Amino acid sequence: MPSYKAPVEDVLFLLRDVLHIERMGNLPGFADMTPDFIEAVIGAAATFCEKVLQPLNQVGDRDGCRRGADGTVTTPVGFKDAYRQYTAGGWVAIAGDPAYGGQGLPFILATIVNEFSASANMAFSMFPGLSQGALATLLSHGDEKLKATYAPKLMSGEWAATMNLTEPHCGTDLGLLKTRASPRDDGSYAITGQKIFISGGEHDLTENIIHLVLARIDGAPAGTKGISLFLVPKVMAGADGTLGMRNALSCGSIEHKMGIHGSPTCVMNYDGATGWLIGEANKGLAAMFLMMNEARLGVAIQGLALSEVAYQNAVAYAKERRQGRALTGAKEPDAAADPIIVHPDVRRTLLAIRAFNEAARALILWTALKGDIAHRSEDPAARQKAEDHLGLLTPVLKGVLTDLGFEGTVKAQQVFGGHGYVSEWGMEQFVRDARIAMIYEGANGIQALDLVGRKLPRDGGRALTAFLTEVQTFIRENADEADMKAYTGPLQQALEHLQQATLWFMQNAMTKPDHAGAGSYDYMHLFGLVGLGFMWAQIAKAALASCAEEGRAAAMQAKLTTGRFFMERMLPETAVHLARISAGAESVMALPADLF
Amino acid sequence: MPSYKAPVEDVLFLLRDVLHIERMGNLPGFADMTPDFIEAVIGAAATFCEKVLQPLNQVGDRDGCRRGADGTVTTPVGFKDAYRQYTAGGWVAIAGDPAYGGQGLPFILATIVNEFSASANMAFSMFPGLSQGALATLLSHGDEKLKATYAPKLMSGEWAATMNLTEPHCGTDLGLLKTRASPRDDGSYAITGQKIFISGGEHDLTENIIHLVLARIDGAPAGTKGISLFLVPKVMAGADGTLGMRNALSCGSIEHKMGIHGSPTCVMNYDGATGWLIGEANKGLAAMFLMMNEARLGVAIQGLALSEVAYQNAVAYAKERRQGRALTGAKEPDAAADPIIVHPDVRRTLLAIRAFNEAARALILWTALKGDIAHRSEDPAARQKAEDHLGLLTPVLKGVLTDLGFEGTVKAQQVFGGHGYVSEWGMEQFVRDARIAMIYEGANGIQALDLVGRKLPRDGGRALTAFLTEVQTFIRENADEADMKAYTGPLQQALEHLQQATLWFMQNAMTKPDHAGAGSYDYMHLFGLVGLGFMWAQIAKAALASCAEEGRAAAMQAKLTTGRFFMERMLPETAVHLARISAGAESVMALPADLF
């Protein structure tokens, strides 16, 4: 049975030594972020995730969610009690607006908690994750009455939420959606249509579920310009939160799927259900994208989270399992065989996962901090810069961290040999659970298109320029340090690849957009590698600065070694991505569809 | 529900235009291999796999195998009847020795049939696959009495077989195995011990199951030098094949696992079961390796087979599913949206799978043909050359084709978006089934060590030298052809990377074996890419030669385009593998085990 220990030490190292969170004291709400306070919050989250959520992960996978003939959905044994404890701890709204009952803590703390809970039990963590996303949308776009009625209940976790975008014939292309919203005299709308792939569409954890539903108001324009966003509760609620009648919506079925069995994926039928407009009519997509962006970051975290827990278990197995001898002679001659962690190929496998995990965590926390700046800073220039960063990095994080996180789980499973394929050991569940993160909230190919087609050109490339400049400045400022050369050298090379790829798009893709489409996926991964490499360079700098401190030498040396592994063996992949991008669209587009 | 169409046209193209099988007429048994005969055999196999095996694939996954309280194992509904038809068709022993009831056809034909059946139903195909491997071992090492009693029943499929290597504490390191064999006065042995991960260890398809079991004769040396191979039938059999008493062995449990649910993975308990020695005492590992090598090629085929069927379904979906518009403007303006095959990123995904599949098939068939030469040629030099090729290529095919085949299924699943994650569509089953191929018959890390540690240095590097020379000669002979430059140019570059990597090992790994261990996995993949690239260059040459033939222009143009895609976008990965190999073992070995 797999185990999990939240990486508290690593998080504290990143916050303190890499992100220097103590320098953020002038950001509203950050003055209280003392090391002790942060440690207390993170420690409590770690304990809860390790002791309560993780033990339910395998049983949740095995038993799954069950839909009764009456349309009710039962979550796995133990989920209800764990959810009660989770909400009692105030974890749902850790970063929520205190005006509605949230704890008002920085987004970066919520991000840390989300990593821990997704590692411990990804399927479970989706329930509060959806509430967080819905709250962001509701508070930004909803009117006061909607906010007052629904936000406190979502913050407390008494009610849960969903996002309803996909329909049987449309997922990526929401312009095709058919769900209708007919205005009623009382200002509400009658919502009619079918939505699919609705995570948490029906369950027994909460007494009410608040559905955010995209639909088309009667007479609205076709395509994406005629889509509005509605709040549709499962049970009608008074302004004071008292529950009334069931609304005209139901869960028609739940999907049998590859993983995340503890999270019900529902077909939702709306049969003239009562809903209220959130934000402006026909501007629903923009409002939903706020939720999507938050959700995309949450999905990126899932990629890291599963890679992390898979790594931990692979390491434990590699230290325990004995097969063969070290190539340089027996390490433990008195035992029948050496532990397999002596074998270079096992170490290579483990280090590849770890070198990803630690940089991915840094990239996520760095971006989460930008989220706090974007929301909290009183300096408009700082806010704009942080918004630029978020917009640019969100598709990269979602696409790259879920791809590489999935690969991490596959690699970790491989360390177990045949036992990795057997359900009992839990490794194959990590692979199955991690796989969805590459698909939902916009399949990774869509993230790549978002990055190349929208985020790069936006505002004359301002966000990209700022990012490239920041990396280049760091390299320049540290290039003279002898101990940093092993990091800044490869990073410089990778940065140049990213610059060349960008230039190639500018020169070739403006007139032939297929060149952008054919290279977008590689560009996203090239960008992601530069981002991860930038994190490793900063981690190395912090490790060099701290390795003389008492008791830290070993841990800091581990950082420096893992970072070198990344620079030598993973970052050079940027060259292949650049080669693919520069190859252009010709061989990709040449084949007529009927010859595939 | 997924579908499957056996790639008969592609196989015929490879046999005729690339491998020039008509030139092999002087090889015993090949004179009858007329195009009509080959087409008839392959066509019949295709029909059977498409119509009988494929429809059972999803139900086999869903229902799986069940073990009763009495230790019996029931296969999924329909498997029994399909197996009856399969054996009635003579497919088990298509390449088997006619002296024992086999059909005596070339191994390359059996290989083709094995691809089709693994695509159609991988779990099912494992039953006859195991019989084929056991037959190879029995006929090479067994005495006449064992052969006469067991081979005909295995050839006909009346009886099935297994291979028993793994024990709870040892898989890779068979030197640790504990199962005992105590000699009895009648020349038989009493076999006692527990084996795990035994595919097909118990089932209801046949009236008898012949277990090939590795065990240690009382008093035998420790380690791998004291292991012998035994034939242990489930039911005792007379010399004429009449069945007697149950032997003292049983299936203790079956594993719950990630995939191949239609194939029971058994814990087998031997409680003084009667067995007979196959080959010499204490030489069991060598005998078993013959079975392993055959099995490894079979597993490589599974990698291709699942990638192929996944590709076919992804293409069908991409032509049907409509989302968004082509970047260059609507392709089908009258429809609400274009089929997603217009999108460059979808095409990139499909082409990456296809470019792998078609070259992988060529590499397998080329190697299978070498297998026929090794078994049939009357020229000792030709036999030795073919044996060299088989020894060198087997770990490459097993390791690379299963890694890339798995990636192919993951990519194909991605094309389906959310539907790819839902069981009903069948794509996630391909991913789960394909995953085991990277693990069993020697995890891929072991294949890499076998390649670098054993196969490269063997006979002074004779096999490698022959391979490199063959590729170099092809390039030289075709370098002047203008139309070939797009293929020979990149291949030359990749070949040089392989040469440089080999040289690096020669210069660095002799004294520091960890350098070989740390680079072995990348070397295996670098080798595999050169092999696939060599296939594409030969396919391109054949396509250029044939594209003027009536009716073949479109198909040959598709080959040329797909090959160009491979050369531009996949073969350049050799540079990264070389960079990793040249980085050496330092960062891989530096971290003490307790810091992982």
Give the ipTM of the model, two decimals please: 0.98
Find, among B170, B58, B202, the residue nearest to B123 by Cα: B58
Q: Which of B323, B427, B449 to mutate to test the interface with A (most CBs of A within 10 A)?
A: B323
Q: Look up tokens 């084929």; give the residue.
A: B132
Going by pLDDT thresholds of 50, 70 and 90, the confidence category of residue A291 is confident
pLDDT tens digit sequence for B152-200? 999 999 999 999 999 999 988 999 999 999 999 999 999 999 999 999 9
The reply to whether residue A554 touches residue B328, judged by beta carbons under 8 angstroms, is no
Mean pLDDT, chain B, as a whole number? 96
Q: Taking 80 as the threshold, does the pLDDT of residue A283 lie above it?
A: yes
Burial class of residue A137, CB neighbours in 10 A (0-12, 13-18, 19+): buried
| Cross-strand bridge partners of residue A170 | A167
Find, among A312, A362, A412, the residue nearest to A6 by Cα: A312
Give the span between the Cα atoms of B441 and B436, in whole angstroms.
10
Q: Which residues of A are catalytic?
A: 441
Asked if B113 contacts B128 with a C-beta cutoff of 8 angstroms, the reply is no
Res A75: pLDDT: 98
> pTM of this prediction?
0.98
Provide φ and ψ at A5, rounded to 5°.
Answer: -125, 120
Q: Taking 90 as the threshold, does the pLDDT of residue B503 lie above it?
A: yes
User: In chain A, what residues touch B255 (CB-CB under 8 Å)?
Assistant: 421-424
Q: Taking 80 as the threshold, does the pLDDT of residue A23 lie above it?
A: yes
Find, among B301, B307, B137, B349, the residue nearest to B228 by Cα: B137
Nearest-Cα residue of chain A relative to residue B428: A258
Q: Is B441 a catalytic residue?
A: yes
Q: Which residues of B530-542 are buried (b: 16+ CB within 10 A; e: fewer)?
A: bbbbbbbbbbbbb
pLDDT tens digit sequence for B308-332? 999 999 999 999 999 999 999 999 9
pLDDT (average), residues B275-291: 91
A with B: how many residue pairs have Cβ under 8 Å apart?
Answer: 266
Q: Taking 90 as the threshold, does the pLDDT of residue B287 lie above it?
A: no
Nearest to A517 among B166, B327, B572 (CB): B327
B115, B202, B308, B441: which is the annotated catalytic residue? B441
Please tell me the distance in Å from B464's CA to the nearest CA on chain A. 22
Q: Taking 80 as the threshold, does the pLDDT of residue A18 lie above it?
A: yes
Nearest-Cα residue of chain B relative to residue A516: B344
Q: Which two tokens stand for residue A149?
A: 């009625």
β-strands A208-217, B73-74 pairing: unpaired
Task: Pick left, alpha or beta for residue B175 (phi over 0 → left; psi -120 to 50 → alpha; otherwise beta).
Answer: alpha
Provide φ and ψ at A182, rounded to 5°.
Answer: -105, 125
Q: Which of A257, A348, A351 to mutate to test the interface with B (most CBs of B within 10 A)?
A: A348
Cα(first)–Cα(last) distance of chain A, in Å?
44
Under DSSP, is residue A224 helix (H, G, I), strand (E, B) or coil? helix
Res A384: pLDDT: 97
Q: Which of B10, B258, B432, B525 to mutate to test the interface with A (most CBs of A within 10 A)?
A: B258
Going by pLDDT thresholds of 50, 70 and 90, the confidence category of residue B292 is confident
Q: Taking 90 as the threshold, does the pLDDT of residue B290 lie above it?
A: no
Find, among A516, A444, A503, the residue nearest to A468 by Cα: A503
Res A88: pLDDT: 96
pLDDT (average), residues B285-314: 92
Measured from the Cβ of residue A335, the count of other Cβ atoms closer than 10 Å reads 11
User: In chain A, what residues touch B449 (CB-CB under 8 Å)?
Assistant: 345
Q: Which residues of A425-440 are buried (b: 16+ CB within 10 A; e: fewer)?
A: bbbbbbbbbbbbbbbb
The reply to whether residue A342 touches residue B593, judged by beta carbons under 8 angstroms, is yes
Give the span between the Cα atoms of A337 and B255, in whole angstroms.
26
Asked if B60 contacts B262 with a C-beta cutoff of 8 angstroms, the reply is yes
The reply to whether residue B591 touches residue A341, judged by beta carbons under 8 angstroms, is no
User: In chain B, what residues touch A223 (CB-CB under 8 Å)?
Assistant: none
Asked if A578 contacts B559 with a C-beta cutoff of 8 angstroms, the reply is no
Q: Taking 80 as the threshold, does the pLDDT of residue A461 lie above it?
A: yes
Going by pLDDT thresholds of 50, 70 and 90, the confidence category of residue B291 is confident
Sorted by where each begins, the domain ranges of chain B are 458-591
Nearest to B172 among A323, A516, A555 (CB): A323
Nearest to B438 among A175, A414, A586 (CB): A414
Nearest to A347 among B343, B557, B589 (CB): B589
β-strands B208-217, B159-164 pairing: parallel
Asked if B230 contacts B191 with a C-beta cutoff of 8 angstroms, the reply is yes
Nearest-Cα residue of chain A relative to residue B592: A558
Q: Taking 90 as the threshold, does the pLDDT of residue B69 lie above it?
A: yes
Give the span between the Cα atoms of B425 and A439, in whole angstroms.
15
